[in-house]
Structure 1
Amino acid sequence: MTSAPPESRDRIYRSPMALIGGFLLLVIIGWLGFDAVASGSGSTPWLALAAMLLVVPLVIAFTLRPAVYANHDRLRIRNPFRVIVLPWGEVETLRSGFSNEVLTKSGTKYQLWAIPVSLRGRKKAARQNARQESGRGPSRGLGLFGGGMQADGFGGRTPVPEGPTRAETDQIMDDLGDLLEARGRAKTSQGEVSVRWAYEIVGPAVAGAVLLLILVAVG
């Protein structure tokens, strides 16, 4: 009996600036919230707890949670409120505009929250290419907002190839496009699209919102 080939290792793409911003926001929210709980009077501690129950999941959803996982068989997108699993065989194309998106063969579009478009990075890349063409400087890879996109799972960041400089998020989209082209017709890359709501985020946020409304209404 022939065993199935092992699943390839994931490349993981996340935004370092979002991770840093999310961590700082959680620290500030925790400090203010627990201070209100400890020193507040009347309904203030309950209002603080309800607000934290609402805000903390939302901060996590939009900063710490987004990630894109890519291997030889599928693309898994962890957005703020959903997890989408796309076998490469179901992906029609990847495209970049004001946001990075993946389009399925059925026509459904999903945004890649973990790989935001950096217009600043594109402008820097264009200036660096202009300097390179004029002979005034070498070409170098550019990071997102000075920090770069984090790509682990394959042992580090996505390498920048020789040639014209690309904004790093654009280079990541190019790499994902190459993976789609190479693996789109493979037998192990076929299957159905899976979409799952992140109830671990939605549930606490809704509960916090309802509790906050009740406390405000009661006074």
Structure 2
Amino acid sequence: MTTPQAEPQDRTYRSHAGIVGGVLLLVIVGWLGIDALFTGHGRSPWLALAGLILAVPLIVAFTLRPAVYANPDRLRIRNPFRIVVLPWAEVATLRSGYSNEVLTNTGAKFQLWAVPVSLRARKKAARREARAMSEATGTPRGGRPGLLGSGGRMGTFGGGTGGGAVQGGPTRAESDQIMTDLRELLESQGQHESAQGEVTVRWAYEVIAPAVAGAVVLAILLATG
């Protein structure tokens, strides 16, 4: 008697900055909207209610909702308005530029909203890497050789152990490291039998429907005002 195999565990990737920003926006919008609901006069409470129905799903969609789930069988992307499931065999490549994207064998392209590119983080990581290299080789960041003391021992800039990369923090931006992890999964799992299948795309009607309803109600209120 064979025992059923356990479902492979997902690695989850999300934008912590997006989550924090989303929570703050929800607090601000909720406070303003609820205040207008209970203290507003005339049409103000209705406008506030329609605005909340429109704004809250959109804030959740673009900040709290995005996530990327990866396991040895497939990549699942939860974007603001869609959920895309891609078996690794159907993934052609993962591309990084001003945004992180996955391309399928058929040419379809899906953006990874949960893994935003931060040019600032890339620059900081590049500076850390340059500092680590200078400490490891004894070369100042300005490019001149480090000072050697008597007996050939390394002077002020020397360590020679390569430990600067650890002390200075990570030498790669977080989003770039995530993309490297996903590429490694693609390379190692893309040909496996368990990674075969079809690409599926599902629209997030649980987000779209209330946002559209709020927009319609708000438009009617404004048009009849």
Q: TM-score, normalised by structure 2?
A: 0.85
Larger Rg over CA atoms:
2
Residue 132 of structure 1: how far off its partner (Å): 1.4
CA 117–212 in structure 1, closer or farther in 2 if over 3 Å, else same:
same
Q: Does 1:100 align with 2:71?
A: no
Residue number in structure 2 paired with 1:127: 127
Q: Which amino acid aligns with 1:15?
A: S
Residue number in structure 2 paired with 1:47: 47
Q: Does 1:20 align with 2:10?
A: no
Inter-partner Cα distance in structure 2 for 1:129 and 1:36 = 51
Report 1:25-40 matches (<5 A): 25-40=25-40
Residue number in structure 1 paired with 2:216: 210
Name stretches of at least 5 consecutive residues in structure 2 with no aligned partner.
136-156, 158-162
Report 1:101-120 matches (<5 A): 101-120=101-120
Q: Judge conservation of contact 2:84–2:200 (CA < 8 Å) in 1.
A: yes
Secondary structure at 2:165 match in 1: coil
Q: Does 1:176 align with 2:202?
A: no
Inter-partner Cα distance in structure 1 for 2:168 and 2:187 = 25
Q: Does 1:68 align with 2:94?
A: no
Residue number in structure 1 paired with 2:165: 139
Inter-partner Cα distance in structure 2 for 1:198 and 1:49 = 22
Secondary structure at 2:164 match in 1: coil
Q: Which amino acid aligns with 1:199?
A: Y
CA 69–208 in structure 1, closer or farther in 2 if over 3 Å, else same:
same
Q: Judge conservation of contact 1:50–1:211 (CA < 8 Å) in 2.
A: yes
Q: Which amino acid aligns with 1:108?
A: A
Inter-partner Cα distance in structure 1 for 2:181 and 2:114 = 15
Inter-partner Cα distance in structure 2 for 1:43 and 1:173 = 49
Inter-partner Cα distance in structure 1 for 2:41 and 2:67 = 40
Secondary structure at 1:75 match in 2: strand
Q: Which amino acid aligns with 1:138?
A: G
Name stretches of at least 5 consecutive residues in structure 1 with no aligned partner.
144-159
Inter-partner Cα distance in structure 2 for 1:2 and 1:97 = 46
Could you say which structure has the greater relative contact order, defined with CA pairs below 8 angstroms and 6 or more residues apart? 1
Q: Judge conservation of contact 1:142–1:166 (CA < 8 Å) in 2.
A: no
State the percentage of identical aligned residues: 65
Secondary structure at 2:110 match in 1: strand
Q: Judge conservation of contact 1:101–1:109 (CA < 8 Å) in 2.
A: yes
Q: Judge conservation of contact 1:141–1:168 (CA < 8 Å) in 2.
A: no
Q: How big is each residue's C-alpha offset from its partner over 1:82-129, in whole Å with a ceiling of 9 and x where there is no partner? A: 000000010000010000000000000000000001111110111111
Secondary structure at 1:62 match in 2: helix
Q: Does 1:11 align with 2:11?
A: yes
Inter-partner Cα distance in structure 1 for 2:82 and 2:113 = 11
Residue 140 of structure 1: how far off its partner (Å): 4.0
Q: How big is each residue's C-alpha offset from its partner over 1:114-152, in whole Å with a ceiling of 9 and x where there is no partner? A: 000111111011111111111157114999xxxxxxxxx
Residue 168 of structure 1: how far off its partner (Å): 1.2
CA 174–189 in structure 1, closer or farther in 2 if over 3 Å, else same:
same
Residue 5 of structure 1: how far off its partner (Å): 2.5
Q: Judge conservation of contact 2:128–2:168 (CA < 8 Å) in 1.
A: no
Q: Judge conservation of contact 2:132–2:168 (CA < 8 Å) in 1.
A: no
Deviates more, 1:129-138 or 1:24-33: 129-138
